[in-house]
Amino acid sequence: MFGEGTGRPINGVRTSMQNGPMLGMVLTWDRIIVSALELSLFAYREAAREVLGENYPITTSEIELVTSMPVFESAGMLTDDSGLVDRIVLQYHGAYIRLGPQLLKPVPGAVAALGSLRAQGLRLGVVTVKPEVRVRFDIECCGLAGLIDTYVSCVEGENVAHPSPVWRCLANLELEASDVMFVAGRLEEIVAARAAGIESIVVPADLRQPVSGDDQIRIVESLSELPGLASETPRGPPLSEQR
């Protein structure tokens, strides 16, 4: 059973064991659990062509922009016309749903890693810029049902660098920042995790270069390493004891 992203806990009452292993893990969605970049770009370009007559996004900076925030936010940067923004969002959603079964897939090793983490008793939460309707669609397409306890979507004014979705996810899990590891797929997500008070951060090997020299970040070559990291990494003191 999934909890939706507004603060409702799913897994009952928290029990705290200071200095024990991690109690939970917060993960980002795209690049970490679901491989949706090809699908997202195809849907966005189709929407931009149909509504604005533009082939967008194309450049690396444009792609980073549109994948770092909800579609309605990035579409609002292309046009001031709210009606056109609504049409872009609708067109994007239609293309995403139509092509998802062919293009959407879980990141290699993600399903097995999530299953192992749950078997260890960890509470698992997700933060994402995607709206809940598309997260639910991704879950169905990728065979992820029952593997995640809660997911939290960005709302208006938020993007991947904002800590608010991370705080809501922690509230849903009934855990503190010191209780969890955070698995990030991009630098902005690391910013959000740290702003939310999470110190234990893991990134995949393909993000090694941007975070090289940061001793507080663990690099994993495969998602299969996550269960071992979670069991061997001690929790820090609650924030109230760090002040």
Q: 101-130 pLDDT, tens per residue?
A: 999 999 999 999 999 999 999 999 999 999
Question: What does pTM read for this prediction?
Answer: 0.85
pLDDT of residue 157: 85
Question: In angstroms, rounded to a whole number, what is the distance separating the alpha carbons of residues 11 and 146?
Answer: 12
Q: What is the pLDDT of residue 12?
A: 39
Is 3.40.50.1000 the CATH number for 24-34+106-242? Answer: yes
Work out the pLDDT band at 77, boundaries 50, 70, 90: very high
Characterize the bridge pairing of strands 180-183 and 24-28: parallel
pLDDT value, residue 13: 35
Map out the domains of the chain as residue ranges. Answer: 24-34+106-242, 37-103
Band the pLDDT of 240: cuts 50, 70, 90.
low
Q: What is the pLDDT of residue 19?
A: 62
Nearest-5° Cα angle at 25, 243 to 3:
105
In this prediction, what percent of the chain has a pLDDT beyond 90? 72
**pLDDT band at residue 175 under the 50/70/90 scheme:** very high
pLDDT of residue 159: 84
pLDDT band at 217 (very low <50, low <70, confident <90, very high): confident
Judge whether residue 4 has pLDDT over 60: no
Window from 38-52, 190-204, 208-222 with minimum mean pLDDT: 208-222
Burial (CB count within 10 angstroms: exposed 0-12, middle 13-18, buried 19+), residue 156: exposed
Q: How many CB atoms are located within 10 Å of the residue 231 CB?
A: 14
Dump pLDDT digits (tens) for 64-76.
899 888 999 999 9
pLDDT at 1: 36
Q: Is the CB of residue 114 less than 8 Å from the CB of residue 226?
A: no
Three-state SS at 221: coil
